[in-house]
Chains A and B, each alone.
Chain A
Amino acid sequence: MPEIRLSKLTKRYGAVEVLHGIDLEMAANEFTVLVGPSGCGKSTTLRMIAGLETVSEGEIFIGGNPVSHLDPKDRGLAMVFQDYALYPHMDVAHNISFALRLQRRPKAEIEAKVREVADVVGLTEFLHRKPGALSGGQRQRVAMARALAKDSDIFLFDEPLSNLDAKLRGQMRAELAIMQQRVRKNMIYVTHDQVEAMTLADRIVVMHGGHIQQQGTPEALFKQPANRFVAGFLGSPPMNFLEAELVSENDRLFARGDGFSVAVPAGRSRSLKRTSGGVTLGIRPSDLNFEKDARDDEAIDLRVIVSEYVGAQSVLLCACGNGSVTVELKSETPIALGETLRFAIRAEGIHLFDRESTAAL
């Protein structure tokens, strides 16, 4: 299974540049997820790899060979579309076998292949239905089966789950994860849903404004976000950001802002010594623990404004000076709105970003 490499990949529509020279390497058999908000260029990148959009500048290499001049059909890939893109006038079996029939494969081989992939995705009893007579989830499976039947080396997914309802999406996400383990192939998956990205990816590529913000394993991106955008995009509920100043006192470094003063862990203060001026303090809700007796410099005092009950956990929206902070709390904890609570901050949960460049410090 070939590796895929994007080199200075650029896309312009007229005078507007939407993709600014993307460099990316995807190893063989890797599940890569391109994630980002709407308009970040992730779908455009995928469609350029597929050959559905022309390349304005730069090159795409598949297995070392440049392919940007090739037709989609000559790139050896399969694709699952957001709206499934089934052929409405063909039944499920014909949808699945379309590519094979175009290749004029022997009839017996085609039938065997159709039965095999239909079995994988659980469509065997629907082979003679038209797409119009299938539910959303079943159509999604047909799209998946059609891609599988091609035996391509590369699978492209363009937001395949976003047209499904929430429950079905969770279920299909799990099935995809299983399929990913069974079918070891290059998969490139585009989504705006960070949960899909975190659960499915070997490697996440976070995109924003036509640039790659950061790439790496889900864990690396979650623990060491390269900048404020990546930190805020991954994780749910999202990371809290508070404006702060770095202040040195008694040889210790503090991030001090409106209503808090948090000690920066000793191991990190040395590299931060030279930084002066404004920073943004980032703390994930999961790194804040309700702890009445925590020390002043390892904790933050928050006034509860809204409590959202979501079952075992409640999400509290709190005020801290002028800023607002989200925390999670066990639902049975007795708290009152307006009450001020103390939360301890886990040392490794302190993220600092430069206020100007938004890069991690």
Chain B
Amino acid sequence: MCGPLPPDNHRSGKPVTAQTFNRMTPYLFLAPAAITMAIALLYPLGYMVYGSFRDWDPSQNISETDFVGLKNYITLFFDPAFRESLSVTLIFAFTVVVAEMVIGVGLALLLDRNIRGISVLRTLFILPMMIAPVVVGLMWRYMYHPTVGTFNKTLKSLGFDGVDWLGQHALLSVIIADIWQWTPFILILALAALQSLPASAIEAARIDGATAWQQIWHIKLPLMMPVLVVTALLRLIDAFKVLEVILVMTEGGPGLSTEIVALRISRTATEFRELGTAAAMSNYLLILLLILTLAMFAIGRLQDARTARLARQVQEEEG
């Protein structure tokens, strides 16, 4: 090969023009990422979907397994344990997201001002998000410990009875830990949204006679809404996939009271040795998350379309 670059010009015999080469360049740059995606994401996903239609024990090679159609899905649909864990997941996800939104936005409204040391305060508030989930789980498990935990020791020293945190109130305890860890996420995004609000609109509201509450209610929150909706959806998607913290804190117990779907999937695959069922369960979760993600994109599209329509309207009138 002694021809000019690129070397794949031998097919046509003609030298490949610089133009073709230029057109190829972006695809060449994209190729490594695309190949990685295909191997790391699409292949396992396809494998999971394929496996969910088979009766599959971990000791078997997948080619030795029997095709069972939708049996795994139907069994799951009528399985009270799976329904229970699905409802635990839904309760967990919606409760934490609502609580985190309220607290996060509230804190953002409080922290959106120029007082001395505010940046230190903001950094402190954001810290929980940076701790590894397993560490968060361990930390809270110790704090919730019935006898030596921080909470019960404090309660007892004040003369109250201890609370059976990870027993009777396991789901609530897990929810509190998640709120502690993920409220900062909402806080950061809400703060960013607040700081990008048009300052003069808020000043106009002050002159129009709005009190601090009225400014929040009539001006700030409505203007933040697009960001808040997307933030809530992002958080919801994340909350459906939560695993480590709960695994470390309660392992899904007591009973099934904190067994979220992700935990049930891992137990079905490892303890019950039913890979096909676990795969089907994963697909149910995937469908749920897909709907949420699509909703998020749809909202984004809708907003873009509306902005474009308004701009067009103005242009037509002026032109």
Contacts and interface: CB of A to CB of B under 8 A. Distances in A.
B205 interface: yes
A173 interface: no
Contacts of A102: 208-210, 214, 218
Given A87-B219, A102-B214, A73 B201 contact: no
Interface of A is mostly: loop
Given A85-B201, A98-B218, A102-B214, A78 B314 contact: no
Given A73-B206, A79-B207, A81-B204, A89 B223 contact: yes
Contacts of A89: 222-223, 225
Contacts of B307: 132
Contacts of B208: 73, 98-99, 102, 146, 150
Contacts of A86: 201, 204
Given A87-B219, A88-B223, A99 B209 contact: yes
Interface residues of B, number: 25
Contacts of A88: 198, 201, 223
Nearest to B208: A99
Interface in B196-244: 198, 200-201, 203-211, 214, 218-219, 222-223, 225
A146 B201 CA distance: 12
Contacts of B207: 50-52, 72-73, 77-79
A2 B124 CA distance: 50
A73 B209 contact: yes
B223 to A, nearest CB: 6
Nearest to A81: B200
A103 interface: yes
Contacts of B311: 132
A297 interface: no
B310 interface: yes
A85 B223 CA distance: 13
A52 B204 CA distance: 10
Contact of A135 (B204, B222, B318): B318
Contacts of A130: 310
A135 B314 contact: yes
A258 interface: no
Contacts, number: 73
B154 interface: no
A83 B317 contact: no
Contact of B203 (A85, A134, A135, A150): A85
A83 B200 contact: yes
Contacts of B209: 73, 99, 102-103
Contacts of A103: 209
Interface in B167-212: 198, 200-201, 203-211
Nearest to B211: A73
Contacts of A78: 207
B204 A85 contact: yes
B313 interface: yes
A152 to B, nearest CB: 9
A133 interface: yes
Contact of B198 (A51, A72, A83, A134): A83
Contacts of B214: 102
Interface string B294-319: 00000000000001001101100110
A25 interface: no
B228 to A, nearest CB: 13
Interface in A128-143: 130, 132-135
Contacts of A50: 203, 207
Nearest to A156: B207
Contacts of B218: 87, 98, 102
Interface of B: 198, 200-201, 203-211, 214, 218-219, 222-223, 225, 307, 310-311, 313-314, 317-318
